[in-house]
Chain A
Amino acid sequence: MKLHPVLKRWEGVLALLLVAEILLFGALNPVFLQPSMLLYATSDFIHVGITALALTLVIITGGIDLSVGSVMGLSAITLGILWVGGVDIWLAAVAALAVGTLGGVFNAVAIHLSKVNPLVITLGTGFLYGGAALVLSGLAGATGYEGISNFDPAFVNLANLEVVGLPLPFALFLALTVGFMALLHRTRFGRYVYLIGQNPRAAAYAGTPVFRTLVVAYALTGLLAALSGLILASYFGSARSDFGSTALMPAITAVVLGGTSIYGGSGTILGTALAALLVGYLQTGLQLVGVSSHVSSALSGGLLVIVVALRSLSEMGRVWLQHRRVLRNVAAE
């Protein structure tokens, strides 16, 4: 069986699936094919994609960050609290990004200090950051549902701004995708990320700066999660502590569906970006053809299960076929 070169790479398969998906929904409801529809639909899910880009780095190092959802909420609330306190909105935004970055640094330091599984540590910091967001919003007297609103109109308008014909959040996503591709595939830092994930022991023997690399990877994840929180705050015109609570699982889904091994060592930024769009458009498309948003989230869960199970099965099949071939060759001798 000869595979077309495009299909040999997982990103090729994802790109084809994305096109097929858009065409399919377009056939069911032509509205879906309108460029403005396709572009502005991204605003509903692009925060997941942005977070997933940085999360890819962390997962390739063999780690994971379960605190990204909480960081989104914390960053939005930080912005809100500072704004309510009379701080300039742009300064407040910078502070929110700084808080997210620090959260990431703290994750890496805690993982390094305790030598405990990143899954467990970030589970803990997830509670901590989410809790901090709740406390801050509680102290500010914001009700859970409405959160903090009445932001500077200039900030709220950001989400609706257009850059070269693209909505600003989506343009940001594209720019970050390119930037992270360069970072992961073209820089020494990116190479260290892969090597540490492949074989931490061999990386240590090679004198790789493991801790420094991990700090940067987790800090970038915190930064992008915070950025996602700000994008949501601008998009909704308000800041809530539970902003990110539903974003964690889709972000991990995008990374894994994008071809990154949850055990670390392999994966690409392009794959994550395509998978984020694939899952995001699946939800939008299903809603457009009348499926409830909750059921559509079930289907993306189902998609993840099917894809990873098929990939696992095909790998088993490949090994089995190779084994058969070897045995046949021996028999022929």
Chain B
Amino acid sequence: MAGTSPSDQRPPLVEARQIWKFFGPIAVLRGVDLTLRPGEVHALLGGNGAGKSTLMKMIAGLYRLDRGELLVCGEDASAMTPVIARQAGIHLVPQEPMLFPSLSVEENVLMHVPGNRKELRARLETMIAEIGAGMTLSTQAGQLEVADQQMVEILRGLIRDARILILDEPTSALTPREVGKLFERIRALTAQGVGIFFISHKLGEIRAIADIVSILRDGQVVLAGPPKSFTDAEIVAAMTHVEGKEGFTLGRAAAPAEHGAERLRVEGLAGEGFADVTFSLHAGEILGLAGVVGSGRTELAETIYGIRPAARGRIFVDGKPLAGHGPRDSLDAGVVYLPEDRQVSGLFVNAPLVWNASALVLHRGREWLPLARERADFAEQIRLLGIVCSSADQPVRTLSGGNQQKVLLAKCLAAGPRVLILDEPTRGVDVAVRADIYRLIDRLAGEGLAILLISSDHEEIERLSHRVLVMNHGYPGGLLEGSDITINAIARLSFGVGAKMDAAQ
């Protein structure tokens, strides 16, 4: 671990004091304090929507802060812009690579870098060789795999001799070997006095590289200090909603003594990003589908629903094969999918709530729209799901994240599903809504619906599922049942370490 001497007298590279940021009426950051010293790796940890990325984009000048103070190298930088950030030696490697897909690797990295082209190109070539990335300078960035795109983003920072490097989940798409290389690079940089913000979801990585860790939740820093002074349990407790737990009146869902008839059976299914998946799902059952991001969970769900093509294998609904199908066929068969990204794939955010709620059932009615019934049906759903809104005509975007999610659920439920696939049903929603959604899922299963629950939140899977299928790198990593379903077991299987460890023991 690269250490910092406590007697370091240089001013901090970045000092954030009581930073607030609003998106519309919603506070994303609520009085955040944060300090980055030269030669330090400062890790940021927190769930989705905790405000980490917003905070980092603010330091890089992409967003302007609304209240508070931002100091860079001791100087006021509250009016930060990307141009100023660049001059101050700040470089952000964003979570989603922001490359220019039509330009080459070289053009992407060297774009807007002052200096001699030839020298820069030579340096870049050495860097690529050192890092061991498999790309050439002339490769078009759009053709690179995500891991390599991430590498290009990191190279951009390195070639600019950034003093403050912000890495937003840099390892999410990297192999362990590449992660090792990256960490070597980070240690070399910190030895030269570079300060690094490092966002990650992986505790192991944070323990390996970070000097300080700050944990954000709901836009506030809830825990900060050297990682070694906290236990894993303390960190996880700080990240998740400890006080929110009281809101969850339900205990762990007990596996029903007897499942109903088989609703969905998948046999040897392979497709874009997964293979050899076999499982069955019964009425009244909640099957959890766990695994890290990129393990093929969403691809599997989208293939069952008919958005992506299946390469091999068969899908049966109520014993009847479902082949060569699209979403419409799935809907007609009673298979309904709640997409993970509600803004992009799920909702029509600028359309009235009521249009969203009826979007899946339009094709079942007549050509002439039954406007009155549409409204009455939605009013019923508002009541059932507890959607907080002022009018059925207001656009979805004016609702809070939790209420938007409820509208999405209303849309799915309106289709009268027999099999419901929920992809991250509680992503970015607050504690109260989360509890509502958990209760709803339990109730729906109780009413005999077959539910496939996809989630990155192991706790959520553990609490709700009767059985859990864990995906690992696109292949089924294991199936857990009954008392075997524990957060630890899910985590071990998702990272694929479980098997080896078990074998070793």
Binding site for B on A (CB under 8 A): 186-192, 194-195, 198-199, 201-209, 265-266, 322-323, 326-327, 330-331
Interface status of B365 (Cβ within 8 A of chain A) = yes
Interface residue B27 (Cβ < 8 Å from any Cβ of A): yes
The answer to whether B83 has its CB under 8 Å from any CB of chain A is no
Given contacts A205-B339, A206-B359, A207-B326, contact A186 B371 (CB under 8 A): yes
User: Is B348 a contact partner of A205 (Cβ separation < 8 A)?
Assistant: no
Chain B residue with minimal CB distance to A199? B348
Q: What residues of B have a CB within 8 angstroms of the CB of A204 in the complex?
A: 307, 327
CA distance A192 to B348 in the complex (A): 12
| A207→B347 contact, CB < 8 A | no
Q: Are A202 and B369 in contact (CB under 8 A)?
A: no
B368-382: which residues lie under 8 A (CB-CB) from chain A?
Answer: 368-369, 371
Asked if B328 is at the interface of the complex by the 8 Å CB criterion, the answer is yes
Query: Within the assembled complex, what's the spacing in Å between the Cα atoms of A14 and B366?
Result: 33
Q: Which residues of A contact B355 (CB under 8 A)?
A: 191, 194-195
Interface residue B115 (Cβ < 8 Å from any Cβ of A): no
Which residues on the B side are within 8 Å of A194 (C-beta)? 348, 351, 355
A205–B331 touching, CB < 8 Å:
no
Interface pair B348/A187, CB less than 8 Å apart: no
User: Can you list 17 A-B contacts (CB < 8 A)?
Assistant: A187-B368, A188-B368, A190-B369, A194-B348, A195-B355, A195-B359, A199-B349, A205-B337, A205-B345, A206-B411, A207-B360, A208-B363, A265-B348, A265-B351, A266-B350, A323-B22, A327-B67
Known A194-B351, A195-B359: A205·B369 in contact at CB below 8 Å: no
Q: Which residues of B contact A208 (CB under 8 A)?
A: 359, 362-363
Interface size class of B (residues with CB under 8 A): 35 or more
Which residue of chain B has its CB nearest to the CB of A319?
A: B24
B484 at the interface (CB under 8 A from A): no
- Set of chain A residues within 8 Å of B503, measured between Cβ atoms: none
CA of A1 to CA of B476, assembled, Å: 60
User: What residue of chain B has the Cβ atom nearest to residue A325's Cβ?
Assistant: B25
Q: Please pick, from A195, A209, A323, the residue contacting B348 in the complex, using a CB distance under 8 A.
A: A195
User: A323 vs B331: C-alpha distance in the bound complex, in angstroms?
Assistant: 41
Residues of A contacting B326 with CB < 8 Å?
A: 207
Which single residue of chain A is at the shortest CB-CB distance from B25? A326
Q: A187-B369, A327-B22, A330-B20 are in contact. Are A198 and B307 (CB under 8 A)?
A: no
Contact check, B345 vs A201: say whether CB atoms are below 8 A apart.
yes
Are the CB atoms of B24 and A322 closer together than 8 Å? Answer: yes
Those 7 A-B pairs whose CB atoms lie nearest each other, nearest first: A207-B328, A207-B327, A198-B348, A206-B359, A199-B348, A205-B345, A207-B331
Q: Are B22 and A188 in contact (CB under 8 A)?
A: no
Q: Does B346 contact A (CB under 8 A)?
A: yes
A190–B367 CA distance with the chains assembled, in angstroms: 10
Closest Cβ–Cβ distance, residue B384 to chain A (whole Å): 21
Given A204-B327, A323-B22: A191 and B307 within 8 A (CB)?
Answer: no
Instruction: Judge if B184 is at the interface, Cβ distance under 8 Å.
Output: no
> Which of A187, A188, A190 has the most chain B CB atoms closer than 10 A to its own CB?
A188
B347: chain A residues at CB < 8 Å are: 199, 202
| B363 adjacent to A207 (CB under 8 Å) | yes
Evaluate contact between A195 and B351: CB separation under 8 angstroms: yes
Q: Which residue of B lies closest to A329 (CB)?
A: B25
Q: Which of A190, A192, A202, A266 sits near B345, CB closer than 8 Å?
A: A202
A191 CB contacts on chain B under 8 angstroms: 355, 362, 369
Q: Say yes or no: is B344 at the interface (Cβ < 8 Å to chain A).
A: yes
Instruction: Give the chain A neighbours of B305 by CB distance below 8 A.
Output: 205
Q: Which of B66, B326, B345, B371 has the most C-beta atoms of chain A within 10 angstroms of its own C-beta?
A: B345
Q: Inside 8 A of B27's CB, which chain A residues have their CB?
A: 330
Counting chain B CB atoms within 10 Å of each CB, the highest count among A192, A198, A204 belongs to A198
How many Å lie between the Cα of A209 and that of B326 in the bound state? Answer: 11
Known contacts being A195-B351, A201-B344, A205-B345, is A326 close to B337, with CB within 8 Å? no
A198 to chain B, nearest CB (A): 4
Complex formed: what's the CA distance from A198 to B351 in Å? Answer: 7
> What's the Cα separation between A209 and B328 when bound, in Å?
9
